[in-house]
A and B are shown apart, each in its own frame.
Chain A
Amino acid sequence: MRRLPVYILIDTSGSMSGEPIEAVKNGMQAMMSALRKDPYALETAYLSVITFAGDVVQTKPLTEVAQFQPPAVSAGGGTSLGGALKKVAECAEREVVKSTVDQKGDWKPLVFLMTDGMPTDNFDAGLAEFKKQKWGMVVACAAGAQADTKTLMRITECVVRLDAADSNAIAAYFKWVSSSISTGSKKIDEGRTELSSLGELPPPPPEITLVKS
């Protein structure tokens, strides 16, 4: 079974506390109940959650959709975006099965990263580690006006923006992530190919704008 690994990176810095972090929890719940009804995602997608504030924690290792229970998340100080990139690279190195002559490995992991601020750590070092891994689609989401899209553009060309980090926008983001995971799983099931461009993802809802370089 070739899995579709999906890494969800969530900024849990202090500015996310209150409404945004509650919206993240609700968003993940809603996402999971949607994915559990989707036979493609249920059979193919494996999810992991990495939260980053001052510390970076893989709060959930790669877990199949049916067994995935959204982790408890709480907000803290700092925005270790570099650390988060390093961590996801380490997790992928350890968890994603590589293809060999005798074995088809997992599909290239999808990454959905959401942050509402500027990195407070060594971003460049983390980015360098991140770039060493092979990724499928990497989507970075700038939540609210404080998030730095220029930094995100260095991670991936697929950068989106939420005008406000409020519960509506965050709910819309997770809904979109959920349908993107469904789309990716279905593409693999039907065509044995991976998502390769933003154009193949479901159209983003009005709350989400694509950031052009």
Chain B
Amino acid sequence: MEEEQEPQKSAAAMTPEEPEPCASEETPPEITLALRVNRVDAAVWGKANECMLKLAEAVQALRIPHGQVGSPFAFTLDLQRIPGLRVQVCTAQGFDRFGLTVQAESGQLRVEGVPTEEFDGAVTLHIHYAMEIEARKTLTLLPDPRSLWKEIEPAADEGYPREHCAVRELAIPEGKRVLAASVRGRSHAHEGKFRDDAFALEQDLSTGWLYLAVADGAGSARFSRKGAEMACEGTIRFLRENMARLPEGELEAHLKQWRTSPEDAEARGNSQLDKVFHRALYDAWFAVNGEAEQRGAKMRDYYTTLLVAAVKRFDFGWFIANYWVGDGAVALLGADGAPEVRILGKPDGGEFAGETRFFTMKEEITEENIRGRLRYSFVSDFDALFLMTDGVSDPFFEAEADLFNPERWERLTADLEEKTRFEAKDLLEWLNFWSRGNHDDRTLVVVR
């Protein structure tokens, strides 16, 4: 519709056709927005007061949402319900400083952009129509939440100092690779605490066994980082030494028999693996216990989860023996070419099974409990074997049921593929992924 001049009005209510320079240019720190409203429809002729009231209402109802630095932000002043008016931005001052633009079109005023700077102050709004409307609104641009996480070094006299991250890569002869990385979580960095997660890898080329472990020291236990480290390293060292002592031909013969009847308790017993694992865990447990005594601390000061796997390729295929206590996950993807995921143990996060269990609890080191937590898998081949602490599993698998959902695993592997191509050098950065409310230490070991 063509813009038309309203025939007659008092001088005070006259709206000049030419945009006029608006006042208040002499207050630079303030953000001001001056709008000029024109009648474009004959229908509103003579209804200046009515329009004025509606405009005032719209302005009063305007509540500007809070913006955040770095996140898309917008607010609108809707003038659609006052048909026949056209809004023009007369002056928009101070918005560009915050990365915001102001537009007025089709009866709507729109301020948008990605805020570049924090602000908490007033926006003065002038609307020039039949008369001036002036309103002050609060504009709050909050800091980027990510910038609020601080990186604080632990105190120099904190015991058991360790690196804030660790990464390793191993090529194994069977054409697969092992990647491992661990990072200190944002919450630990924010509090000036050390990383409580740990991992360990060992490859024994003489026997062909590969040993993997991850552990998550309990946040409430003051020396849990040492517990996690000792649990991983102790178990793996013992396994490496003692698996090498098992007569190789005999073990393979037992496994071959066991493979054909997985429920065969006798074959399981003959393999000696329950015993070796029990002794390895027992050995690591006592090492932690000794450390606690020496330090005059309690075993509960060293509480940690533990996820261990021993992997070897035999003539008949791959064999994986693993133990898992506490939260986190051990998963086998694409076993025997099947699309489903095999979770190698019982997830026992605190949410579902009462309290989280820890390796360092006395009752966990009994032969019966260890036996119950051991899993043995025979597979012709597999796509990936994952061991992870809850810092990784929680953001990707919110509920326990999600762990058994292949699509969730697909999402994880696709993300890793896209962002790291499963290269160790990119894995550390990947582990810093942003997930609201999830800022624990993160540790991931993958064989693929």
Which residues of A come within 8 Å of B, CB atoms? Answer: 1-2, 36-40, 42-44, 66-67, 69, 101-104, 186, 188-193
Contact of A101 among B390, B398, B399, B437 (CB under 8 A): B399
**Cβ A69 vs Cβ B63 within 8 A:** yes
B440 at the interface (CB under 8 A from A): yes
Complex Cα distance, B63 from A67, in Å, reads: 11
Shortest C-beta distance, B404 to chain A (Å), equals 11
Interface residue from A1, A66, A189 paired with B142 (Cβ < 8 Å): A66
One digit per residue, 1 when the CB lies within 8 angstroms of any chain A CB and 0 when it does not, for chain B 397-435 equals 011111000000000000000000000000000000000
Other CB < 8 Å A-B pairs besides A39-B149, A42-B148, 10 of them? A39-B186, A39-B190, A43-B436, A67-B65, A67-B66, A69-B63, A101-B400, A104-B351, A188-B437, A189-B440
Residues of B167-205 at the interface with A, using a CB-CB cut-off of 8 Å, are: 186-187, 190
B219 touches A66 (CB 8 A): no
User: For the complex, is B225 an interface residue (Cβ under 8 Å from A)?
Assistant: no
Do the beta carbons of B349 and A192 come within 8 Å of each other?
yes
Question: Across the two chains, which residue of chain B brings its CB closest to A42?
Answer: B145
Residue B271, interface by CB 8 Å? no
CA distance A209 to B189 in the complex (A): 34
* Number of CB contacts from chain A to chain B under 8 A: 57
In the bound complex, do residue A66 and residue B401 qualify as a contact, i.e. CB atoms below 8 Å apart?
no
Task: With A69-B63, A189-B187 as known contacts, state yes or no: A102 contacts B220, CB within 8 Å.
Answer: no
Supply 30 A–B pairs (Cβ within 8 Å), ascending by A.
A1-B437, A2-B437, A36-B142, A37-B148, A38-B148, A39-B145, A39-B186, A39-B190, A42-B145, A43-B437, A66-B66, A66-B68, A66-B145, A67-B65, A69-B63, A69-B66, A101-B400, A103-B398, A104-B398, A186-B187, A188-B437, A189-B437, A189-B438, A189-B440, A190-B219, A190-B440, A191-B220, A192-B350, A192-B351, A192-B390
Main secondary structure on B side of the interface with A:
loop
Quick one: CB contact mask for B219-238 with A, threshold 8 Å, 1 for yes? 11000000000000000000
Which residue of A is nearest B193, CB measured?
Answer: A190
The 5 closest A-B pairs by CB, nearest first: A39-B148, A190-B219, A43-B437, A43-B436, A102-B401
- Minimum CB–CB distance for A200 against chain B, Å: 12
State the CA gap A193–B142 with chains docked (Å).
28
**Chain B proximity of A98: nearest CB distance (Å):** 13
A66 CA / B68 CA spacing, docked (Å) = 8
